[in-house]
């Protein structure tokens, strides 16, 4: 009798590849290949996006998939970027370097735990706090853009503020919208988001690695500005 392959096996396979890429990223960073380690974080994010897409297409979303996804994310988008930061920059800060580089991992863990506790169903229209893949991709794209046998000034001076801001945003209550589905209905519901994706692709094609970093910075700033705009509007109504 042949073993039965359930539809959930396919998205879980993509999730496993996400975790595997995170593991390879850590190995690459340990060997001093920080550019390759950064690319692997980006590849892990692609698998992370694909597992959700495949789960929706096969109608095979499950609680097991959600938990496996979180475990994969803490490896690929928590531990891998934290280790990348430590090996490429923070190693020279001794104990303080260990603490600072661990903030992405720790804040990301809290972010994922809160997400799982608050998750109702399998579809989300927005995220509360910066998603951990976005934080990891910001770090990976920064390393790709500015690492060249070390981080030269003034880019080295950005690293500590960047880590502190990303860690705070992940555990904050700042709202970040989900990306639109690539359907006519999804584009109609979120036309601005779709235009942003198109502009992001153009920016990456024009500026390549730096363009990728700027895209994530812009996305983060949009969430911050919208949060303060909402606070001011609610204050005026009160």
Q: Tell me what the mean pLDDT of segment 106-110 comes to.
A: 95
DSSP 31: T
DSSP 32: T
Q: Which H helix or E strand runs over 128?
A: strand 126-128
Residue with the bigger pLDDT between 82 and 230: it is: 82
Q: Report CA-CA distances (Å) from 201 to 22, 140, 214.
A: 24, 17, 11
Q: Tell me what the mean pLDDT of segment 173-192 comes to.
A: 66
Q: Which domains does the chain have, with CATH numbers?
A: 9-178 (1.20.120.1760)
Determine the pLDDT at residue 66.
Answer: 81
What's the pLDDT band for 159 if we cut at 50, 70, 90?
Answer: very high
DSSP 75: I
List phi, psi (to 5°) of 3. Answer: -65, 140
SS3 236: helix
Determine the pLDDT at residue 1.
Answer: 45
Residue 45: pLDDT over 60:
yes
Give the whole-angstrom CA distance, residue 68 versus residue 85. Answer: 25
Q: What is the pTM of this model?
A: 0.87
DSSP string, 129-178: S--HHHHHHHHHHHHHHHBSSSB-TTTHHHHHHHHHHHHHHHHS--EEEP
- State what percent of residues in the chain have pLDDT above 70: 80
Residue with the bigger pLDDT between 9 and 196: it is: 9
SS3 126: strand
Neighbours of 21 (CB within 10 A): 23
Give the whole-angstrom CA distance, residue 30 versus residue 26. Answer: 6
What's the pLDDT band for 212 if we cut at 50, 70, 90?
Answer: confident
Residue 114: pLDDT over 70:
yes
- State what percent of residues in the chain have pLDDT above 90: 49
Rounded to the nearest integer, the mean pLDDT of the chain is: 84
Residue with the bigger pLDDT between 41 and 196: it is: 41
Determine the pLDDT at residue 179.
Answer: 62
Q: How many residues does the chain have?
A: 238
Neighbours of 236 (CB within 10 A): 7
* Spatial contact of 52 and 19, defined as CB atoms under 8 Å apart: no
Residue 124: pLDDT over 60:
yes
């Amino acid at each position: 009798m042949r073993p039965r392959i359930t539809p959930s096996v396919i998205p879980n396979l993509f999730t496993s590849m996400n975790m595997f890429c995170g593991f390879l990223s850590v190995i690459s960073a340990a060997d001093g290949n920080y550019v390759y380690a950064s690319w692997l974080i980006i590849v892990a994010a692609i698998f992370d996006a694909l597992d959700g897409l495949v789960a929706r297409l096969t109608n095979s979303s499950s609680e097991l998939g959600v938990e496996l996804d979180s475990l994969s994310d803490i490896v690929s988008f928590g531990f891998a970027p934290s280790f990348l930061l430590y090996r490429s920059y923070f190693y020279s800060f001794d104990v303080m370097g260990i603490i600072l580089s661990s903030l992405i991992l720790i804040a990301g863990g809290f972010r994922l735990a809160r997400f799982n506790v608050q998750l109702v169903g399998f579809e989300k229209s927005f995220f509360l706090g910066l998603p951990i893949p976005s934080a990891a991709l910001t770090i990976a794209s920064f390393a790709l853009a500015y690492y060249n046998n070390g981080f030269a000034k003034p880019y080295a001076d950005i690293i500590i503020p960047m880590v502190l801001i990303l860690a705070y945003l992940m555990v904050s209550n700042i709202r970040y919208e989900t990306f639109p589905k690539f359907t006519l209905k999804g584009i109609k519901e979120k036309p601005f988001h779709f235009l942003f994706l198109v502009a992001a692709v153009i920016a990456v094609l024009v500026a390549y690695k730096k363009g990728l970093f700027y895209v994530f910075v812009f996305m983060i700033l949009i969430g911050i500005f919208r949060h303060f705009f909402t606070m001011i509007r609610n204050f005026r109504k009160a």
